[in-house]
Amino acid sequence: MRIGSLTLASNLFLSPLAGYTNLPFRLVVREIGGVGLCTTDLVNARSLLEKRPKAFKLIESRPADQPLAVQLFGSVPEEMRDAAVLLESQGVACVDINMGCPVRKVCNVGGGSAMMAELHKTAALVRGMVNAVKIPVTAKMRLGWDDQNITAPDLARALEDVGVAAIFVHGRTREQGFGGTVNLAGIRAVAQAVKSIPVIGNGDVTTPQAANKMLTVTGCRGVSIGRGAFYNPWIFQHARHFLKSGELLPEPPFEERVRVLCRHLDLMIEIFGEELGCRMFRKVAPMYSRRFGPASEFNKRVVLVSTKAQFHDVLENYLNWRRQFLDERGELQPRFRPLPMVASFMQADDTPQQEIAVPKGPVEVW
Ligand SMILES: Cc1cc2nc3c(=O)[nH]c(=O)nc-3n(C[C@H](O)[C@H](O)[C@H](O)COP(=O)(O)O)c2cc1C
């Protein structure tokens, strides 16, 4: 898989999730394997240029976190250009431009999904960025503002003409938010509109089969996964294996999920310090526990932890409590096993399935 001058080991991408795709999470996903390129949370171009510590924390990286794309948002061409130059000088592999964010604060100043409505202005802004750096510049968009304004195919083509190296497209409109079904035909129209750059499909992919369907039905060249990776950081490894071999790997055992959970906390503490790291981890841990089977006892307590020692107490108590749901071999009894996850665009049979939720917090506005 190539994005401009960048060669990637896989055609699977981690989507930006503001508040979630920080350095510890990216390291967790990369350690498990299968991901080709990770993207940071969106970063305000002006804040970077003003050297705001929060913006620099968002782009903090390590050699093990390569290759890394930083997602910029902003609507002032000179700021976007200068921020891209700054990122290149920091060793960032790729700059992505946010054109999908529906948050009013971002759109009101002409950024995020407002960019999709102003094709010429957007193309001019992007040209300025592409001309200023050697690293690839990519764009991430939704299908359009609403069903009456499906602008992604035209915009993708216009951006290709000004030198964008790839297009990421979430198969929903801005008006749709996270509701309804991901529109694979809409993504396909974008893949068909460009001449040669890769289009990467995005939205609701939670299983290897869904990643495969995204590729085959839309003709896109890669798949970008956001929430599905948060619920299941093994998704890239498993999807990659399935795409290569047609075989499904078994779900990671409970002990492996717990190991990665603890590793994630250690990285949070290393990177954000014990107090902030533990506080931030309160919204991370319940994502892992969605695949634990019964976990009320864990979820109730983990949202109160402030130290690593407290977390390990909570975990130990939970492991004891969870024993009541195990059979004689130490496996969860079948009736307590978590439901399989399903993508909105996969044919659902009659088996009960777990739908992908939109995480709480800043997410309500995405
Ligand atoms: C909590 C949250 C934060 C998000 N933050 C960003 C962001 O910073 N930039 C962006 O382009 N998209 C953002 N998105 C959209 C995702 O990148 C992705 O397009 C969307 O969630 C659909 O993919 P998924 O179903 O695999 O999660 C966010 C979505 C969520 C749920």
In a domain, residue 345? The reply is no
Which atom, in ligand 1's list, is nearest to the CA of 228? 26
Question: Considering its fold, how many domains does the chain have in total?
Answer: 2
| CA atoms 97, 101, 106, 107: torsion sign | positive
Least confident of 64-78, 92-106, 198-212: 92-106
Instruction: Band the pLDDT of 184: cuts 50, 70, 90.
Output: very high
Q: Write down which residue in 219, 245, 271 finishes a domain.
A: 245
In a domain, residue 351? The reply is no
**Are residues 62 and 156 both part of a single domain?**
yes
Q: Model's pTM, two decimal places?
A: 0.93
How much is the pLDDT for 344? 80
How much is the pLDDT for 56? 97
Q: Write down which residue in 178, 210, 245 finishes a domain.
A: 245
Classify burial at 195, counting beta carbons within 10 Å of its beta carbon; exposed 0-12, middle 13-18, buried 19 or more. Answer: exposed
**Are residues 180 and 281 both part of a single domain?**
no
Instruction: Band the pLDDT of 175: cuts 50, 70, 90.
Output: confident
pLDDT by residue (tens digit) across 120-166? 889 999 999 999 999 999 999 999 888 888 989 999 999 999 999 99
pLDDT by residue (tens digit) across 19-63? 899 999 999 999 999 999 999 999 999 999 999 999 999 999 999
Spatial distance between the Cα atoms of 279 and 135, rounded to a whole number of angstroms: 35
**Are residues 239 and 265 both part of a single domain?**
no
In Å, what is the CA distance from 153 to each residue of 73, 142, 183, 204, 214?
21, 10, 13, 20, 17
User: How far does the centroid of ligand 1 lie from the alpha carbon of residue 17, in Å?
Assistant: 5
Atom 23, ligand 1: which residue's CA is nearest?
A: 203
* Active-site annotation, residues: 101
Instruction: Band the pLDDT of 109: cuts 50, 70, 90.
Output: low
Q: Is the confidence at residue 342, as pLDDT, over 90?
A: no
In a domain, residue 19? The reply is yes
In a domain, residue 103? The reply is yes
In a domain, residue 116? The reply is yes
Atom 2, ligand 1: which residue's CA is nearest?
A: 17
**Are residues 222 and 282 both part of a single domain?**
no
The CATH number assigned to the domain holding 8 equals: 3.20.20.70
CA 249 to chain centre: 22
In Å, what is the CA distance from 76 to each residue of 44, 46, 79, 116, 147?
11, 9, 5, 15, 27
In a domain, residue 118? The reply is yes
Residues with CB under 6 Å of ligand 1 are 15-20, 41-42, 71, 98, 100-101, 140, 170, 202-205, 225-228, 358-359, 363, 366
**Are residues 194 and 260 both part of a single domain?**
no
Q: Is the confidence at residue 75, as pLDDT, over 90?
A: no
**Are residues 180 and 60 both part of a single domain?**
yes
**Are residues 169 and 30 both part of a single domain?**
yes
Mutate to test the pocket of ligand 1, among 15, 200, 220 (most ligand atoms within 8 A of CB): 15
**Are residues 139 and 37 both part of a single domain?**
yes
**Are residues 188 and 274 both part of a single domain?**
no
Could you tell me which residues are beta bridge partners of residue 342? 355
Q: Write down which residue in 209, 226, 245 finishes a domain.
A: 245
**Are residues 285 and 220 both part of a single domain?**
no
Atom 15, ligand 1: which residue's CA is nearest?
A: 17
User: How far does the centroid of ligand 1 lie from the alpha carbon of residue 269, in Å?
Assistant: 24
How much is the pLDDT for 111? 64
How much is the pLDDT for 120? 85
pLDDT by residue (tens digit) across 233-290? 999 999 999 999 999 999 999 999 999 999 999 999 999 999 999 999 999 999 999 9
In a domain, residue 310? The reply is yes
Q: Is the confidence at residue 338, as pLDDT, over 60?
A: yes
**Are residues 297 and 229 both part of a single domain?**
no
Helix segments in 109-151, DSSP class H? 119-132
User: How far does the centroid of ligand 1 lie from the alpha carbon of residue 357, in Å?
Assistant: 12
Averaged pLDDT of the chain: 92
Atom 28, ligand 1: which residue's CA is nearest?
A: 17
* Pairing assessment for the beta strands 222-225 and 199-202 based on DSSP bridges: parallel
CA nearest neighbour of 24 among 299, 269, 254, 276:
269
User: How far does the centroid of ligand 1 lie from the alpha carbon of residue 15, in Å?
Assistant: 6
The answer to whether 146 touches 114, Cβ cutoff 8 Å, is no
Question: For residue 213, what are the domain limits?
Answer: 2-245
**Are residues 122 and 234 both part of a single domain?**
yes
Sequence-distant (≥ 6) Cβ neighbours of residue 127 within 8 angstroms: 162, 163
In a domain, residue 353? The reply is no
Which atom, in ligand 1's list, is nearest to the CA of 227? 27
